[in-house]
């Protein structure tokens, strides 16, 4: 019942498939739309404004400066073992956080719906997409689908491509997490070993 509900939610965001960003982007890149949705669920819990800073790569000065900025701006955040997860209340706050992290050259942070890392900044420039642009969920999803497709072209398997999207092939439980979310969207006769990437290589 729950699985059917989520499937309907995914496929019926709009009466027309052309206005459904999951279907539109999936078809454009040859990727199962439900896989894109599952990844966004794992990455951001569908929050287009969330920004995650890699805590392990920060100096003490960077950590302190980040916390002072967040507290002074009254921006909610959570600190986990490896990341500071920032939940801006609106797009203006989120843009301010991106500006801060970029200006002070924080080494590794992820932006938006599909958590695109700032390491892609130079590639984004070639696409005429700014780091701010990644706060737009359509733009973020399209960039992420392109990255995911490149991972699949390189590795030619579901699990390796999905783990590579997360940044590590070895010792990575990311594929399992995505599969758990994907299973909630699949029909009873389907499983996550089906062709998740279907564009001709």
Per-residue pLDDT of the chain (201 residues; tens, 9 = 90+): 555 555 555 555 444 544 599 999 999 999 999 999 999 999 999 999 999 999 999 999 999 999 999 999 999 999 999 999 999 999 999 999 999 999 999 999 999 999 999 999 988 998 999 999 999 999 999 999 999 999 999 999 999 999 999 988 888 899 999 999 999 998 877 876 678 998 877
Examine the domain organization and report whether 175 and 137 are in the same domain: yes
So what's the pLDDT on residue 84? 97
Do 102 and 151 fall into the same domain? Answer: no
33 plus 72 within the same structural domain: no
Query: What DSSP designation does 75 have?
Result: -
Q: Is residue 105 part of a domain?
A: yes
- For residue 121, being part of any structural domain is answered with no
Please report the pLDDT score of residue 14 as a whole number: 42
Q: Are 69 and 38 found together in one domain? A: no
Extended beta strands in the chain, E state: 50-54, 77-79, 83-87, 109-111, 116-117
58 and 35 together in one domain: no
Domain containing residue 139: 2-45+133-183
Q: How far from 46 is each of 23, 56, 69, 73, 192, CA to CA, in Å?
A: 16, 24, 25, 23, 21
Q: Does residue 201 form part of some domain?
A: no
Structure tokens at 52: 């995650």
101-to-20, 56, 58, 71, 75 alpha-carbon distances in Å: 32, 15, 11, 15, 14
Residue 117 lies in a domain: no
Q: What is the DSSP string of 145-163?
A: HHHHHHHHHHH-SHHHHHH
Answer whether residue 122 is part of any domain.
no
Q: Indicate whether 178 and 145 sit together in one domain.
A: yes
């Amino acid at each position: 019942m729950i699985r059917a509900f989520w499937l309907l939610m995914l496929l019926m965001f709009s009466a027309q498939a052309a206005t459904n960003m999951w279907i539109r982007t999936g078809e454009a890149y040859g990727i199962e739309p439900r896989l894109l949705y599952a990844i966004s669920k794992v990455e951001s819990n569908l929050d287009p404004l969330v920004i995650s800073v890699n805590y392990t790569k920060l100096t003490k000065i960077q950590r302190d400066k980040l916390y002072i900025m967040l507290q002074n701006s009254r921006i909610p955040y959570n600190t986990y073992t490896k990341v500071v997860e920032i939940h801006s209340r609106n797009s203006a706050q989120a843009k301010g956080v991106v500006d801060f992290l970029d200006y002070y050259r924080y080494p590794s942070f992820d932006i938006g719906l599909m958590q695109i890392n700032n390491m892609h900044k130079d590639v984004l420039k070639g696409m005429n997409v700014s780091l701010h642009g990644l706060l737009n969920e359509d733009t973020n999803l399209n960039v992420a689908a392109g990255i995911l497709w490149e991972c699949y072209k390189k590795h030619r398997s579901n699990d390796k491509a999905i783990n590579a999207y997360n940044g590590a092939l070895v010792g990575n439980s990311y594929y399992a997490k995505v599969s758990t979310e994907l299973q909630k969207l699949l029909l009873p006769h389907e499983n996550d070993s089906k062709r998740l990437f279907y564009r001709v290589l």
